[in-house]
Amino acid sequence: MRIDVCVPVLHKPPTQFEEMLKRELPVNEIIYSFAKPLGTARQELIEKVTTDWFVFVDDDVELLPGWWDEVWRLVDPLTGAVEGLWSYTVEPEVDAYQNAMADLARALGKKTSVERLVRAFTGDALIRTELVKDIKIPPVPVYEDEFIKQHIITKGPNQRRTPDARSFVLPDNERYRWKRTSGVVCLHHRGLNIGQAWIAGYYAYYFGRMTPKQAVKNLVTIGPKTLYAVWRTGMWKIIPMQLNRELRTSLGCLTAWAKGDRFQ
């Protein structure tokens, strides 16, 4: 099986990037979009896909050896997409905080971020093409990944598909699933994008993925969470990093709520 690889970019990546894609993926064609914003770019890329499955790969992502095998083994008839878990390479505090939060969730008997998938990531994601051929992604700069996820998981699978796509007619009450690998399969060569936190919070409310109540709760709990993370890791930089991010995200959400700006 061959797949199209879709890459939203501002500038065409170096040849090493394409070599990595061809090494780790069964590439049919590499498709680039230079459109802005990101929602428009992903829409344009989807419309050019010709294969049963395709992969989104951002140009600041490095796929680790074995990426395809780790992702493809999670595919079954109910799989709509599989995203690869990533590791930030620029700021180790980001991974350290996430690991501390996973430990805290397990200690409290709650699901970790890997298990509950609060927000989708399309920086390295395998997607079943037929489920998004009818999608109309708004021209948004962020949160288009979660928009794609919601489009997929609300779909009923009552359609006949080809056997080589690992699918068949399924019961009426089933829905497609968006999955994430349990282990890290790619490196994200960037730091935590705090500059986008406000706009991310804004569109989280816009798309119905965050409520004002959740925003306030996040503001109240971020202090204890960061202190716990510092206690676990010894990384004091986590405090200003996460406080700044959460403050901006929550204010973005509350701003959208105050304006009544909601996706229709």
Is pLDDT at 144 greater than 90 in this prediction? yes
Q: Which residues contact 41 (CB under 8 A, 6 or more apart)?
A: 8, 33, 34, 35
pLDDT above 90 (res 110): no
> pLDDT tens digits, residue range 17-49?
999 999 999 999 999 999 999 999 999 999 999
Mean pLDDT of the chain: 90
pLDDT of residue 168 exceeding 60: no
**81 - beta bridge partners?**
127, 178
Note the helical H segments in 5-63: 15-24, 38-48
Sheet strand arrangement including 79-88? 27-33, 3-8, 53-57, 124-128, 79-88, 177-188, 61-63
Q: Which is nearest to 188 in space by CA: 54, 98, 72, 81?
A: 98
pLDDT tens readout for residues 85-99? 999 988 889 989 988
pLDDT at 109: 80
**pLDDT tens digits along 210-252:** 999 999 999 999 999 999 999 999 999 999 999 999 999 999 9
Q: How confident is the model at residue 108 (pLDDT cuts 50, 70, 90)?
A: confident
